[in-house]
Amino acid sequence: MAFVADTLIPLTSGTAALRRRVGLAGSPATLAALALTGAALLWSGNFLAGRLAADLVPPATFSAARWLLAFLVLLPFTVREIGAKKDELIRRWPLWVAMGVLNIAVFTVLIYAGLAHTSLVNGSLIGSSAPILVGLLGWLVLGERTSLRSRIALAVSTAGVGLIVLRGDIGNLLGLAFQPGDLVLFLGIAAFALYAVVLKRYPSSLSPAAALTVSIPFGLVALAPFAAWEIAATGTVPDGNAALLVLYVATLPTLGFILWARGVSVLGPLRAGQFLQLMPVFGAALAVGLLGEELHLYHAMGLALVMAGLGLRDRRIAGAA
């Protein structure tokens, strides 16, 4: 797909000439929307992987293993660009520290820790609050304004997420018992919302892949003492199943962060945040396609509402800059 190629090409080149040679087309906003949709799709399995990993490996250890592997995968593709822009990296080191701590350490650890103490249903419900938090922080930090049209669009897509989470029956809302992990999950989503605002407030000339690569070591430094404590306290030795989960979260969801960064740089955190509401939709689709679960009418209705909200959000997305 175009948004995947548009993201992977800068890993080795970053030149506009190469992009033209492979014939990529589309406005920046269209490609940004596709990138954000791709990020939501790749992240939709991350909650499930985190829940499965909760019984196999502690959260900080899981996060550290994930990002160490991701760093080793990304570095060969980004080392040339990082070396060419070392002056910017040194000058703006506080930005990379903030990105590493917020995204690599705080966000992922809190998500995995929260999923160990709550249900996937609750996790989906809490995750759907991300656009609201991103919008709130975008308004407080960046002064971004929300139009009536955008508020209506967010309400429509939120209704679609709620329809899926509640399985088409509002009575199920009464049966949702929130667990201790729910607050931890919410704090993780808040850390991600702040990370999204930082991306917009302090843009960098680095490609998203290079920026992510640079931030990973700072996150690993923050994670190291917690991972060491977990290993010493639990004596956990990851098995083959844990290794497979680490391999998954270190590759595909990591690509999602790169796609997300590209989308936010064009559309901003407020408009980009609504795409996170696709995650419960994709989660339901993956459950049907991969686990053989039954597709219900409320799935289709929820998807229709989410897509309607995204379309209503900005009818000029195909031509916006």
Per-10-residue mean pLDDT for the chain, 321 residues long?
34 39 61 89 81 86 94 93 91 91 92 80 65 72 68 72 66 63 82 83 84 94 93 78 90 87 80 76 67 65 72 49 34
For residue range 31-85, what is the model confidence (pLDDT) as tens digits? 888 999 898 888 877 877 887 888 888 999 999 999 999 999 999 999 999 999 9
* Identity of residue 47: F
Element (H, E) at 159: helix 148-165
Predicted pLDDT of residue 164: 64
Output the CA angle 212-246-75, nearest 5 degrees: 30
Residue 177 is predicted with a pLDDT of 58
What tokens appear for 245 in the block?
């989960």
pTM over 0.75: no
Cα 157–158–162 angle (5° rounding)? 120
Pick from 5, 42, 8, 11: nearest CA to 253: 42
**What is the distance in angstroms between the CA of the first residue and the CA of the last residue of the chain?**
20
pLDDT given for residue 22 in this prediction: 38
Helix residue ranges per DSSP H, 202-296: 208-234, 240-273, 278-291
Let me know: does 212 contact 95? Beta carbons within 8 Å: no
Phi (first) and psi of residue 140, to 5 degrees? -70, -40
Instruction: Please tell me the predicted confidence (pLDDT) of residue 321.
Output: 34
Buried b / exposed e along 235-249 (16+ C-beta atoms within 10 A): eeebeeebeebbebb
Longest dimension (CA), the chain: 58
Query: What is the Cα–Cα distance from 66 to 203, expressed in whole angstroms?
Result: 26
Position 272 scores a pLDDT of: 79
Buried b (16+ CB within 10 A) or exposed e, 198-225: bbbeeebebbbbbbbbbbbbbbbebbee
CB of 313 closer than 8 Å to CB of 150 = yes
